[in-house]
Structure 1
Amino acid sequence: MTEKLKSSAQRVQDCLTQAGYDFRVKQLLASTRTAEDAAHAIGCEVAQIAKSLIFKDKNTGDAVLIVAAGHHQVDLKKIKATTPFHLSKADADFVRDKTGFAIGGVSPIAHRHPLHILLDEDLKNYASIWAAAGTPNAVFELNAEILAQLTQGQWLSIH
């Protein structure tokens, strides 16, 4: 683990601190770019990784963040049937513009602009989950209840 946080990771740490939580962003030497990489670097199950996926709503052009358990694929047809969103894949420029983070380091918090946020209800099955913290090797540990408090996201089945 490295000491000084990169600016994007520091933004996440500042958001956590300002929200009154004492969680600490950790910068690991190994990559956490994918859920599998993160689970290996942290030493947890892939399902405990809260991966942040940004989509673009075809109806409005808004960014939609889905925070999914690391072992799940998002079922876009199910999302369309259960929400007002019609999602498409977002490109790297859209992700960076809307969140302030690069793909592979998108945090569920501390975004540049407000986002619509959907949370994978399966994350509630774990006492501890890990989320990206602004860079491809920064993470922080929390639980599903606090994830919901921090993001004000909507719980649903995403797969």
Structure 2
Amino acid sequence: MVGHEELPERSRVVQQHLLDAGLDVRVRELPASTRTAAEAAAALGCAVGAIASSLLFMADGEPLLVMTSGRHRVDVDLVAGQVGAGSVVMATAAQVREVTGQAIGGVAPVGHPAPVRTVVDRALREHATVWVAGGTPRTIVPLTVDQLVALTDARELAVASD
């Protein structure tokens, strides 16, 4: 783990947001990519379901960040019905960068230019600690689901029909 000042710029923004929220957690930089849930789980030695993948969608044209268990594929119709949207589609890479200021594979739940409406997969409750991206594909942060929900002002819902 590196010190706060040695983190990449985008991760320093995330770390500051965590500190400002009163959370005593640290962004960690790993030697290998954590771009996918499988890569992150392998690097951390945890279940893939404990990886909270950050996926940006457009719900009726408005950004919606879905923090999903790494073991799930988001069911866009299920999510659309629960958030009251006519359509939910995956954001483009350009939209992800514009809305979050971060690259796909490293999108943190916070540290964006403006707050993003967020939902959290209920399945993440199966894990005492979940791991979220820290602003780059090689940075990660441990949180509880309660911390994640409070930090993002998220609504918990089912995002996949297991």
| TM-score, with structure 2 as normaliser | 0.93
CA RMSD of aligned residues (A): 1.0
The CA distance in 1 between the partners of 2:62 and 2:114, in whole Å, is 10
The CA distance in 2 between the partners of 1:80 and 1:14, in whole Å, is 32
Q: CA deviation at 1:125?
A: 1.4
Q: 1:4-153 counterparts in 2 under 5 A?
A: 4-57=6-59, 59=60, 61-85=61-85, 86-153=87-154
What letter is aligned with 1:46? Answer: V
Q: What per-residue deviation string (whole Å, max 9, x for no partner) do you get for residues 67-91 of structure 1?
A: 0011001001111222212211111
The CA distance in 1 between the partners of 2:81 and 2:2, in whole Å, is 44
The CA distance in 1 between the partners of 2:94 and 2:41, in whole Å, is 27
The CA distance in 2 between the partners of 1:12 and 1:27, in whole Å, is 12
What letter is aligned with 1:81? Answer: G
The CA distance in 2 between the partners of 1:22 and 1:143, in whole Å, is 12
The CA distance in 2 between the partners of 1:80 and 1:139, in whole Å, is 28
SS at match of 1:123: helix
The CA distance in 2 between the partners of 1:141 and 1:67, in whole Å, is 14
Q: How many residues align?
A: 157
Structure 2: gaps (5+ residues): none
Structure 1 contact 32–41 (Cα < 8 Å) conserved: yes
The CA distance in 2 between the partners of 1:2 and 1:30, in whole Å, is 14
